[in-house]
Amino acid sequence: DTGVSQNPRHKITKRGQNVTFRCDPISEHNRLYWYRQTLGQGPEFLTYFQNEAQLEKSRLLSDRFSAERPKGSFSTLEIQRTEQGDSAMYLCASSPTRGAGELFFGEGSRLTVL
Amino acid sequence: GNSVTQMEGPVTLSEEAFLTINCTYTATGYPSLFWYVQYPGEGLQLLLKATKADDKGSNKGFEATYRKETTSFHLEKGSVQVSDSAVYFCALFALRGDTGRRALTFGSGTRLQVQP
């Protein structure tokens, strides 16, 4: 049973460095989502893709953040010039087109910015 | 905008006690409502859902009823077990502002600790 896979699971970096996270969704799922979760809070929506098209970006996603899903399969989330406030768990989820809120989440990638 | 409010935790119960976790929402249009659960060391997973008013979602002994008149979706279980210890998130799926697109909006989560 292959669920949503995220890598790396934990990344520690110094302020100002760039980091990239990868998400491999469930293969037959067309939609892919990125969320951010900080301690004691629920996940916050960042962006989502329908196949390779990025259909929406939250205002939380500053210019330093970019996400891609080049072939409609895996996705990457890059953060440039990291800041301490970027420290969080980055969650990826996928769903079929008609999933209507039924998302399948990965275990997340934890970012620590020193 | 859309929002979900959950009771703060942690909620600490003894095994076989009755559980209620309150959830209320504000949303555009007619949302679908969900409870997701996060067990220690695992990713979020769907626990149950309800897509229209008066629907009752149920799974693993948990239940929640979509109450449009009170904009609520409280989670209940008659007899909790130690294995139910986890963080529970209420969520809604609805139109986001003027984008015309739907997304899942989560509450802040409620940690449940069940003691033997």
How far is B47 from B34, CA to CA, in rounded Å? 8
Question: Which is more confident, B83 or B103?
Answer: B83
Main-chain phi, psi angles of A99, to 5 degrees: -70, -25
Nearest CA among A32, A49, A50, A46 for reference residue A89: A46
- Pick from A69, A68, A45: nearest CA to A57: A45
Residue-wise pLDDT tens digits, B25-69: 999 788 999 999 999 888 999 999 999 999 999 999 999 999 999
- pLDDT the model gives residue B77: 98
Size of interface A-B (CB pairs under 8 A): 62
Check CB contact of B30 with chain A, cutoff 8 Å: no
pLDDT at B100 over 70: no
Structure tokens at B62: 């948990």
pLDDT band, residue A1 (cuts 50/70/90): low
pLDDT of residue A26: 94
pLDDT attached to residue B99: 62
Reported as a pLDDT band with limits 50, 70 and 90, residue B106 is very high
Is residue B19's pLDDT more than 70?
A: yes
To which H or E segment does residue A85 belong? none
Residue type, B97: G
- Rounded to an integer, the average pLDDT of A97-104 is 81
Average pLDDT over residues A25-48: 92
Range with the poorest average pLDDT among A79-83, B72-76, B95-99, B108-112: B95-99
- Nearest-Cα distance to chain B for A8, in Å, is 14
Mean pLDDT of A42-59: 90
Q: Is the CB of A100 less than 8 angstroms away from the CB of B93?
A: yes
Which one-letter DSSP state was computed for residue A80? -
Mean pLDDT of chain A: 92
pLDDT at A99: 65
CB-nearest partner of B49 from A93, A102, A104: A102
